[in-house]
Amino acid sequence: MDIEKILSQMTLEQKAALCQGADFWHLVGFPELEIPSVMVSDGPHGLRKQDDRADNLGVNDSIKAVCFPTAAGTAASFDRNLLYSLGEAIGQSAQAEKLAVVLGPAANIKRSPLCGRNFEYFSEDPYLSAQTAAAFIRGVQSQGVGTSLKHFAANNQETRRMSVSEEVRERALREIYLASFEGAVKEGRPWTVMCAYNKLYGIYCSENPWLLNELLRDEWGFDGITMTDWGACNDHVAGIAAGMDLEMPRSNDYDDQAVVRAVQDGTLPEEVLNQTVRRLLTLIDKAQSRAHQPDDFDWGVQHHVARKIAREAMVLLKNDGNLLPIRGNQKVAFIGGFAEKPRFQGGGSSHINCTEVLSALEAVRSVSPVTYAQGFEPDAVEADEEKLAEAVRAAKEADIAVLFLGLPESIESEGYDRRDMKLPEVQNRLVEEVLAVQKKVAVVLHNGAPVELPWADQVPAILEAYLGGQACGGAVVDLLFGAVSPCGKLAETFPLRYEDTPAFLDFPGTGDRVVYGEGIYVGYRWYDKRKMAVRFPFGHGLTYTTFEYSNLRLSVDNFVGVPVTASVDVTNTGDFPAKEIVQFYVRSDHDGVDRPVRELKGYGKIALAPGETGTVTVTLDRRAFAYWEERTHTWRVEPGRYQIEAAASSRDIRLSVPIDAVGEPLVIPVTGDTTVGDILTIPGAMDRFASILRPAKIEEDKSEAASEAVTAEMAAAMMRDMPLHAVRSFGSHLSPEEIDQLVADLNELQGL
């Protein structure tokens, strides 16, 4: 496609029309200009392509497709290769269905466990989220299909999501909420980025020039197109001016006419519109030039891929007394409706019309005979006493009872947030009744986000299956009976109760405004800083074996800006082949800027046979040590000592080694409001200005009462926190002119 030639032939009206969708799923095409109409579709964990009978709201049945595990589970795999293979499979499906772009992945941070769409998001940690999203993007796009990284940015709740303004401190925005997208953009290079519905600092994300142009394109180097979420356009002309390329879906002809008028009256420069059209034509050309019919596409094969991914995405939270795996000679009872009809995907725009669904009750038939009792209706508010009694009898007569519990779709879905973290009370009662007659109980959870588990201390084994896709029942049986060992680890913290969570007081805000009062302290950063007990920590997950860590070493002793490699040896010290996920955290070990206790900056996954030893190695770059400095609006490495920790979870630190970072001076313009303590951190300031900045001398012969009133420690503290303009009032006798000169000298000392 000769883009410049086509652009020169397009009328103003055609250019304007290209900036809106043709309908709910297609981009506008102009056959007379050899511009085809291409199609996009939902698809973070499987395609939701609608056929030609698609309704204007996009809620009718979609074509058949394979449903893979949702992001809440796939992130728990801590496996870039696995996410790449998931992306490959979805990319193959998209090519088979002649799609240009898959609308996903979603890289929003899990600020609160109540967010109704958390099942579609990866993690509370931005590094893990970015790495996982980037791997998925690379996998999809390896098949010649684009992705749309969403929802950019700070879309962390469903309540009033189309109007709420997110008020986030600059440091938290950079370190947490934007970092999740930044890594995905830079490493994954998605073809498109989808904006969020919400406002950021009072400006809709669909028309925020700082977000769409200055940050995304100029700073991060994004070269694809931006598109709105469906219905997220507030002002189409303002959006194009701010860097928003495509409004989806088509609203009406009025927006086209508004663009034409804006160009004609000079409100919107035509070159800005032309650049938008160039990007759109580039996307269309890329999709068309890479379109092909995959030779090896097969639903049955993809179903088996979905089962393999589901096994890696589930987390063994607890296994007291090695209750699992279930032995072949045990009499087993499956209890709970989710064993027969599993909850395996979320509600809303990503809901898949599955090719098939494999339940645990069906999958177990080829492995072991089991008895089954429904126990409860998933949406029931009150217990069915007959079903409950049947379940208790089945549990009592068995050697081990496996309870299949979880959240019904009515509680957890796109469009609204959960009201609490509780499981339905009928399920909690079932656990209590079963425990009264059977101590060997394993619980399998089907949910897209953390839930409160009041009975967790009494239940010996808990397997978090998340929303495991259409093959989840087979994956659960594989893990329960030991065909493979569980290996997933939590990509989010399970708190003891909702009241403990970081955003408890601020979520979901008041009216159309929500303040992120917890700042950078999201997820494990919050719980660790406050030394709070949790149910299960971030990064936690068990296997059917044990691992020993040894010989943690770094490539250098000092960090001077060059990437550092960290390596640790891992030995399988048990009797079961399994995979271990090693997490590498960086911890500040010096006084300085306020930091989280530790932050995930690398991870690796290794498969080991019993007795086998292997090595996991990661690379730690400058960003692994940096924080966002709000005063200079830059990333900064603070000089000092850090600890590099090799860990089995955020609260299971196995080994730690120190490293000294040379760091970078903090160059901040000095004013009369700058404190003495901040001035004395400037290299050379103490030597040149000590006599001026030293506090007034305390007389040696002062009375005992005076010594008690003004101690040396108090005087030093007062001087440290004193603004420069106030120094002349406490013994320095500096004139205003001398203060001004001192400010100039200090700035000159910093090279300003």
Q: What is the pLDDT of residues 68-98, one digit of tens each?
A: 999 999 999 999 999 999 999 999 999 999 9
Count Cβ atoms within 10 A of the Cβ of residue 227 and give its class: 0-12 exposed, 13-18 middle, 19 or more buried. Answer: buried
Determine the average pLDDT of the residues in 515-536. 98
- pLDDT score for 708: 61
Return the beta strands (E) in 407-520 as ranges: 441-446, 461-464, 513-515
Least confident of 197-211, 289-303, 452-466, 733-747: 733-747
Confidence of residue 736 (pLDDT cuts 50, 70, 90): confident
- pLDDT score for 88: 97
pLDDT of 694 above 60: no
* Residue whose C-alpha is closest to residue 153's, from 141, 165, 145: 165
Tokens representing 355 are 């090719």
- pLDDT score for 77: 98
- pLDDT score for 692: 64
Q: In this structure, what is the dihedral angle of CA atoms 553, 555, 560, 562, given to the nearest 10 degrees? A: -130
Confidence of residue 690 (pLDDT cuts 50, 70, 90): low
pLDDT of 520 above 90: yes
Determine the average pLDDT of the residues in 44-62. 70
- pLDDT score for 697: 46
- pLDDT tens by residue, 286-314: 999 999 998 878 999 999 999 999 999 99
Mean pLDDT of the chain: 93
Catalytic residue among 42, 229, 255, 478: 229
Determine the average pLDDT of the residues in 595-616. 98
Amino acid symbol at 396: K
Determine the average pLDDT of the residues in 549-573. 97
Tokens representing 408 are 């019904």
Determine the average pLDDT of the residues in 15-24. 97
Confidence of residue 709 (pLDDT cuts 50, 70, 90): low
pLDDT of 56 above 50: no
Least confident of 40-49, 121-130, 393-402, 693-702: 693-702
Q: Which domains does the chain have, with CATH numbers?
A: 3-289 (3.20.20.300), 299-529 (3.40.50.1700), 547-661 (2.60.40.10), 676-749 (no CATH)
- Sort strands 332-335 and 400-406 into parallel, antiparallel or unpaired: parallel
- pLDDT score for 698: 43
pLDDT of 348 above 90: no
pLDDT of 727 above 80: no
pLDDT of 515 above 60: yes
Contacts of 160 (CB under 8 A, 6+ apart): 508, 509, 511, 512
- pLDDT tens by residue, 317-336: 999 999 999 998 999 999 99
Tokens representing 162 are 């189309």
- pLDDT tens by residue, 451-463: 999 999 999 999 9
- pLDDT score for 691: 65
Contacts of 550 (CB under 8 A, 6+ apart): 568, 569, 570, 571, 655
Confidence of residue 731 (pLDDT cuts 50, 70, 90): low
Task: Output the DSSP codes for 598-651.
Answer: -EEEEEEEEEE-TT-EEEEEEEE-GGGTEEEETTTTEEEEPPEEEEEEEEEETT
Better-predicted residue by pLDDT, 447 or 54 = 447
Told to judge if 506 belongs to the known catalytic residues of this protein, a careful annotator would answer no
- pLDDT tens by residue, 377-387: 888 888 999 99
- pLDDT score for 696: 44
- pLDDT score for 667: 86
Confidence of residue 742 (pLDDT cuts 50, 70, 90): confident
- pLDDT tens by residue, 638-667: 999 999 999 999 999 999 999 999 988 888
CA atoms within 13 A on the CB side of 87: 30
- pLDDT score for 212: 98
* CA–CA dist 38, 99 (Å, integer): 7
CA atoms within 13 A on the CB side of 136: 35
